[in-house]
Amino acid sequence: MNQPMISLESLFQPIDVDALEKAATSGGCASSSCGSSAKPADMAADVWDRIKDHPCYSEEAHHYFARMHVAVAPACNIQCNYCNRKYDCANESRPGVVSEKLTPDQAMRKVVTVANEVPQLSVLGIAGPGDACYDWTKSKSTFDAISQQIPDIKLCISTNGLALPDRVDDLARMNVDHVTITINMVDPEIGAQIYPWIYYNKRRYEGIEAARILHERQMLGLEMLTARGILTKINSVMIPGINDQHLLEVNKWVKERGAFLHNVMPLISDPAHGTHFGLTGQRGPTPMELKELQDALEGGAKLMRHCRQCRADAVGLLGEDRGQEFTLDQLPETITYDPSKREAYREIVARERGDHVAAKEAAVATVKETAADAKLLVAVATQGGGRVNQHFGHAKEFQVYEAGPKGITFVGHRKVEAQYCEGGWGEDATLDTVIAALEGVQVVLCAKIGECPKDLLTAAGIRATDDWGFEYIETAIGELYLREFGVETTAAVA
Ligand SMILES: C[S@@+](CC[C@H](N)C(=O)[O-])C[C@H]1O[C@@H](n2cnc3c(N)ncnc32)[C@H](O)[C@@H]1O
Ligand code: SF4
Ligand code: SF4
């Protein structure tokens, strides 16, 4: 089995930077596969260069790199039936939610503090609580100041698209290379069921007219970004009964206009959030409904399946949120950027990543060569680095992979409402929510699991094992698949 060159504790939080620097400067490359590239075969090298450290634009990168959002742009120019920007809960992870709004100066102090403390940081985004292109002055001065201090940080912006065409030239000038547009429809009749009003050219529009204007501006903005070579990600909220089937059409439109990624996200709809959809009982999709739609979209615009629907002030690797460590009251009054931790981390990752890619290629080949048509849905407890390295009871989410004739593909993640093992012992009631979140999953891989939860999972038809603790995820799944379906099979996971 492949072993990491340094302890995983030093690669993932809390980071021991001395260990990182020592490992990074010890000279030579011990990796057997140094030089292996994670670049997908069908991607141009220059595009890969622009996304390889971006946790949202590359699924592979999200095992290593972190983003942070700064909530500097609270104003919005439209109303979506699924959004209530007034609702705020520090414990909740959901788009639009923030604990504190920041001025550009405060954002600057926060980003430098995080960059000094979180070596995985590679991306700074503005993603709510309002619209970055509408609340433009604050977005622009934030990006201007931070890119001067930390020139290699990638700038990322998220918008509903209405004000986007007016900002494209500025975005290109400022080197903003990644722009997300939320596009939920291309048919204004469907749009009228999602957007009650928009505010455009100093006027309020409603109904189909509002949705038509929004649609035209979104398409224009997307085309303008594509013409300037800026990478675009399209977010679509999947709203069952309103736009779920229509998203096949949206996918075609955005692909034709050069979108780089399409991120179909489930509607989050809870009456407690006070949104129109929450209060009218509009439900979100189940994980399996989302997967079915995503499967139907394969072959169109490339899909993002690893979105975590982060808070507008999220900090850290996707799936973790360290925002509470960097609230305003904890930030120093003055701070100077120190690039040493980020640089050391990047060197470590470059080595670890080469090994991971080689291991992944070998595992995928093993699964493809195994003479079995069967598919296996596997949930993995991981805290980063592409390894099975988290205790079952500590997992806040599981990453889900499908193994089958096509190899090993990342399918998505399943959030767990409350961890099974908070404080060292499990609660059966919590395990029920974990089992519900694992709908359709056949096997769980984790670093450690006790006999009791293992038995309860088995009774629910889900097998769990720590046989591959700390192994690369794909290597573990490849060996599991072989054990289950290979000709040399002797035992299945008990
Ligand atoms: C909070 S918005 C901020 C950026 C910008 N105003 C926009 O709408 O794109 C970021 C993302 O969260 C999504 N979002 C907001 N509320 C949501 C909900 N209840 N369920 C799913 N996605 C939601 C939006 O659709 C958007 O893609
Ligand atoms: S555009 Fe974004 S911030 Fe504005 S209401 Fe919609 S989701 Fe919320
Ligand atoms: S919401 Fe999705 S796309 Fe945005 S930072 Fe989080 S994971 Fe990335």
Residues 390 and 279 in one domain: no
Residues 310 and 453 in one domain: no
Residues 72 and 198 in one domain: yes
Question: In this structure, which ligand is nearest to the CA of 195?
Answer: 2
Ligand 3 atom nearest to CA at 55: 8
CA 95 to ligand 1 centroid distance, Å: 5
Higher pLDDT, 32 or 173: 173
Pocket of ligand 3 (CB under 6 A): 56, 67, 125, 127, 307-310, 318
CA 361 to ligand 1 centroid distance, Å: 35
pTM: 0.85
Question: In this structure, which ligand is nearest to the CA of 198?
Answer: 2
Residues 358 and 423 in one domain: yes
The residue segments making up the domain with residue 413 are 347-485
3-state secondary structure of 70: coil
CA 136 to ligand 2 centroid distance, Å: 15
Residue 42 lies in a domain: no
Q: Tell me the residue type at 463.
A: R
Residue 122 lies in a domain: yes
**Among the three residues 330, 360, 378, which one is the final residue of a domain in this structure?**
330
**Among the three residues 330, 360, 392, which one is the final residue of a domain in this structure?**
330
User: Would you say 21 and 344 are in contact if contact means Cβ atoms under 8 Å apart?
Assistant: yes
**425 confidence band (pLDDT: 50, 70, 90):** very low
Alpha helices per DSSP H over 91-206? 104-117, 136-149, 164-173, 188-191
Q: What is the CATH number of the domain that holds 153?
A: 3.20.20.70
**Among the three residues 301, 330, 359, which one is the final residue of a domain in this structure?**
330
Measured by CA distance, the residue closest to atom 8 of ligand 2 is: 83
Number of domains in the chain: 2
Does residue 54 surpass a pLDDT of 70?
yes
| The predicted structure's pLDDT at residue 355 | 87
Q: What gap in Å lies between CA 348 and CA 470, rounded to an integer?
A: 17
CA 365 to ligand 3 centroid distance, Å: 30
ipTM of the complex: 0.99
Does residue 121 surpass a pLDDT of 70?
yes
Q: What gap in Å lies between CA 6 and CA 468, rounded to an integer?
A: 18
**42 confidence band (pLDDT: 50, 70, 90):** confident
CA 127 to ligand 1 centroid distance, Å: 8
Q: What gap in Å lies between CA 341 and CA 344, rounded to an integer?
A: 5
Does residue 21 surpass a pLDDT of 60?
no
Residues 101 and 202 in one domain: yes
Ligand 2 atom nearest to CA at 130: 3
Q: What are 131's two structure tokens?
A: 């619209």
